[in-house]
């Protein structure tokens, strides 16, 4: 009887824990990760796993040379860069609201066109960046935040004064300083930021990610990573080919120049030879007059 009661209690606790987890709104699913990535949940900390479902209030912590790519449904990817700490918020009721609270570090986003009722926001201690569909990054460091946009438009507001807003467009950036209480729109974008944004822009949003097996996801990620390496190699070969063609043209030009010089030298030698022969003939003729052969 005791054994039956214990098993009933264990089963009931299991179903309660499962039902609680099922009631929590899903934020997204880990599409790719590398290095040291910790997921802090209500039940404790664990290492990141491929295809791990992330829920409301889960926290992601990345170490040195680490990253985690989280896919939101079939419409976006959020990349949590190295040395970052992010809390995930999801409200999925009548509307679908996804918020990544970046406590420190850097987040890169690739968001495709959202449906009516969907929204994606990146919050830092000093700013809120809201998007409709774009490629951008957000940095958070102490009292400062930065937003850089590669495509589309991002609305950036100060946390202290929400009425202070700027629209950051393609190849623009914004800086928020809570100490000086400033929100500046900058016309330029850092080259280092642009390179990062180009990288996530090429990232594939895998359709029906949840239903795919791990092997399929690994293969898709592997192809995506290797296609980037392949593209860089192809570019190198193209540049090498161009350089070789330039050198070839230079050598052909030198050859032509040498041939022209050789022809001129040949003509000069022939002319001098003719002149010498004429002189020799004249000398012979003069000697004949004097009876000398």
Last residue of a domain, one of 171, 188, 212: 212
Instruction: Based on the fold, state whether residues 173 and 113 are members of the same structural domain.
Output: yes
Instruction: Based on the fold, state whether residues 165 and 260 are members of the same structural domain.
Output: no
How many angstroms separate the CA atoms of 138 and 144, rounded?
11
Q: How buried is 21 (Cβ within 10 angstroms: 0-12 exposed, 13-18 middle, 19+ buried)?
A: middle
What six digits make up the tokens of 157? 């507001």
Instruction: Based on the fold, state whether residues 271 and 174 are members of the same structural domain.
Output: no
How many angstroms separate the CA atoms of 173 and 131, rounded?
14
Residue 42 included in any domain: yes
How many angstroms separate the CA atoms of 182 and 197, rounded?
25
Residue 11 included in any domain: no
Q: Dihedrals φ, ψ of 96, to 5°?
A: -115, 105
Residue 238 included in any domain: yes
Q: Dihedrals φ, ψ of 125, to 5°?
A: -60, -20
Instruction: Based on the fold, state whether residues 261 and 140 are members of the same structural domain.
Output: no
Instruction: Based on the fold, state whether residues 85 and 192 are members of the same structural domain.
Output: yes
Instruction: Based on the fold, state whether residues 136 and 93 are members of the same structural domain.
Output: yes
Residue 127 included in any domain: yes
Count of Cβ atoms closer than 10 Å to residue 120 Cβ: 22
Instruction: Based on the fold, state whether residues 199 and 276 are members of the same structural domain.
Output: no
- Domain of 239, in residue numbers: 213-293
Radius of gyration over every alpha carbon of the chain, rounded to an integer in angstroms: 36
Phi-psi region of 211 (alpha: psi -120 to 50; beta: other; left: phi over 0): alpha
Q: What is the CATH number of the domain that holds 138?
A: 2.60.120.1440
- Residues 123-170 have pLDDT tens digits of 999 999 998 779 999 999 888 999 999 999 999 999 888 888 999 999
Whose structure tokens read 């090498």? 240
Instruction: Based on the fold, state whether residues 282 and 152 are members of the same structural domain.
Output: no
* Predicted pLDDT at 111: 93
* Predicted pLDDT at 160: 86
**Residues of the chain predicted below pLDDT 70:** 1-23, 222-238, 292-293
Instruction: Based on the fold, state whether residues 151 and 247 are members of the same structural domain.
Output: no
* Predicted pLDDT at 242: 74
pTM of the model: 0.68
* Predicted pLDDT at 17: 47
Q: Which of 24, 69, 62 is nearest to 43 (CA)?
A: 24
Residue 19 included in any domain: no
Last residue of a domain, one of 190, 212, 234: 212
Residue 5 included in any domain: no
* Predicted pLDDT at 228: 55
Last residue of a domain, one of 212, 231, 249: 212
Instruction: Based on the fold, state whether residues 181 and 250 are members of the same structural domain.
Output: no
Instruction: Based on the fold, state whether residues 40 and 156 are members of the same structural domain.
Output: yes
Instruction: Based on the fold, state whether residues 31 and 118 are members of the same structural domain.
Output: yes
| Domain count across the chain | 2
Residue 12 included in any domain: no
């Amino acid at each position: 009887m005791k054994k039956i009661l214990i098993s009933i209690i264990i089963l009931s606790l299991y179903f309660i824990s499962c039902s609680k987890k099922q009631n929590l709104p899903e934020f997204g699913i880990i599409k790719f990760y590398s290095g040291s990535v910790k997921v802090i949940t209500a039940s404790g900390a664990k290492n990141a796993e491929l295809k791990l479902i992330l829920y409301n209030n889960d926290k992601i912590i990345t170490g040195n040379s680490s990253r985690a790519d989280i896919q939101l449904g079939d419409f976006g990817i959020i990349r949590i860069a190295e040395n970052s700490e992010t809390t995930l918020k999801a409200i999925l009721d009548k509307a679908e609201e996804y918020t990544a609270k970046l406590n420190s570090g850097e987040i890169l986003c690739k968001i495709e066109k959202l449906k009516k009722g969907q929204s994606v926001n990146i919050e830092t201690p000093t700013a809120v960046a809201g998007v409709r569909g774009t490629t951008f990054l957000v940095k958070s460091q102490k009292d400062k935040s930065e937003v850089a946009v590669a495509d589309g438009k991002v609305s950036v507001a100060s946390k202290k004064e929400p009425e202070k807003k700027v629209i950051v467009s393609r190849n623009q950036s914004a800086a928020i300083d809570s100490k000086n209480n400033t929100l500046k729109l900058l016309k330029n974008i850092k080259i280092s930021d642009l390179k990062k944004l180009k990288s996530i822009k090429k990232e594939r949003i895998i359709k029906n990610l949840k239903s795919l097996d791990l092997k399929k996801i690994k293969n898709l990620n592997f192809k995506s990573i290797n296609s980037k390496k392949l593209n860089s190699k192809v570019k190198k070969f193209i540049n090498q080919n161009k350089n070789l063609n330039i050198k070839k043209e230079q050598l052909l030009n030198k050859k032509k120049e040498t041939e022209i010089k050789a022809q001129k030298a040949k003509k000069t030698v022939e002319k001098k030879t003719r002149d010498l022969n004429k002189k020799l003939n004249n000398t012979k003729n003069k000697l004949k007059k004097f009876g000398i052969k």
